[in-house]
Amino acid sequence: MKKFLPLAVTVVLGIFAGNVFSQSAVGYDFLRTSVGARASAMGGSFVAIPGDIHALFYNPAGLSGLNERQGTFSYLNHILDFQSGFLGYAHPLASGTAGLALNFYDFGQFDGRDQNNEPTGEFSANGLVLSAGFSREVMKNVSLGGNAKYIRFSIDDFTQTAGAVDAGVLVAFPSQNLHVGVAVLNLGSTTSAFINTEDDLPTSVQFGAAKVLEHLPVMVSGQVVKFRDDGLDFRLGGEITVTEQLQIRLGYDSVGQDQKVDSDKDRLAGVSFGLGFKVNKFNIDYSLSSFGEVGSLNRFTLVGRF
């Protein structure tokens, strides 16, 4: 029975998520934006990466790989100068690992107009996600995890809120230096709407694997993603450990194809690159993600272990 537990959990998660895939209007697009410079540099291919605090966003089961307390802060300079920040904290306990996260999005100031195109003054828009998660190893090499989320999106004086959960499983194959992960993210519904409009959440199912290559300081990862309103996307990532203090990362996200506008720069759409530096108990990470002619995203992350 224990041999079949990881497969059973994976199948149940997939079926559960499949029941909510419909053709309704999907909103809360900011929930699709990757967090953390390490993960972003690897194309967002992070569902099977263990022992990283950003598992709070990608697959909560990965938290169980942490053996010390971690805190993180990320800053994202988005296209059109939208700003985003991510704060996270993970704490190993005797029964598992608990985590908290705050993700904030500031979409800036806009000029308001009425139905006659007359100025009405400036207004702002922002998004907020509060997450609390827990993960534990339920049997040797098999970890389960989950998050509970409060989500808010505000435009001027109008606010929409939602509640959601994430669930994931991570299976390790130590003899192969391999991890396999699956997660269902943002499964929930709107609790209060913009006037009469209730947007659906961008629920997704994500499945992937990560492997450290034999006799090489290289980790490769890949995953497929199915959002409720989109076809299948794929993500690829790689991490090269040059020295104990320096890592180089590369990635590709097929969503970049959607940003193409028939420009020479489109060849880089979806490609990402990053560097990681380890200084004592801190990791300093940077990533650059290309949207082709549309622009690029710069992320900076600081992770502390204590």
Span 172-183, pLDDT tens digits? 999 999 999 999
User: Is residue 190 situated within a structural domain?
Assistant: yes
Q: How many CB atoms within 10 Å of residue 264? A: 8
CA of 207: how far to CAs of 22, 48, 66, 72, 128, in Å?
A: 20, 8, 21, 25, 26
Task: Tell me which of 16 and 215 has the higher pLDDT.
Answer: 215
User: Is residue 124 situated within a structural domain?
Assistant: yes
Q: Which residue has 């290309």 as its token pair?
A: 290
Residue 257 to residue 236: CA distance in whole angstroms:
14
User: Is residue 295 situated within a structural domain?
Assistant: no
User: Is residue 164 situated within a structural domain?
Assistant: yes
> Per-residue pLDDT averaged across 53-64, rounded?
95
Residue 163 to residue 188: CA distance in whole angstroms:
6
> What pLDDT is attached to residue 259?
58
Span 224-275, pLDDT tens digits? 999 988 889 999 999 999 999 999 999 999 986 665 556 666 678 889 999 9
DSSP 55: H
User: Is residue 255 situated within a structural domain?
Assistant: no
Residue numbers of the domain that contains 60: 2-238
Span 82-136, pLDDT tens digits? 889 999 999 999 999 999 999 999 988 778 877 888 887 888 889 999 999 999 9
> Could you tell me which residues are beta bridge partners of residue 68?
none
> What pLDDT is attached to residue 260?
55
| Confidence check: pLDDT of 4 > 80 | no
pTM (two decimals): 0.86
CATH number of the domain at 47, please.
2.40.160.60
Band of residue 15 on the pLDDT scale cut at 50, 70, 90: very low
Task: Tell me which of 85 and 22 has the higher pLDDT.
Answer: 85
> What pLDDT is attached to residue 264?
61
User: Is residue 298 situated within a structural domain?
Assistant: no
Q: Who's near 54: CB < 8 A, 6+ residues apart?
A: 35, 36, 38, 39, 46, 72, 88
> What pLDDT is attached to residue 263?
62
Span 139-159, pLDDT tens digits? 999 999 999 999 999 888 888
User: Is residue 262 situated within a structural domain?
Assistant: no
User: Is residue 256 situated within a structural domain?
Assistant: no
> What pLDDT is attached to residue 22?
39
| Confidence check: pLDDT of 26 > 50 | yes
Arithmetic mean of pLDDT over the chain? 87
Residue 6: closest CA among 234, 209, 228? 209
How many distinct structural domains can be found in the chain?
Answer: 1
> What pLDDT is attached to residue 291?
79
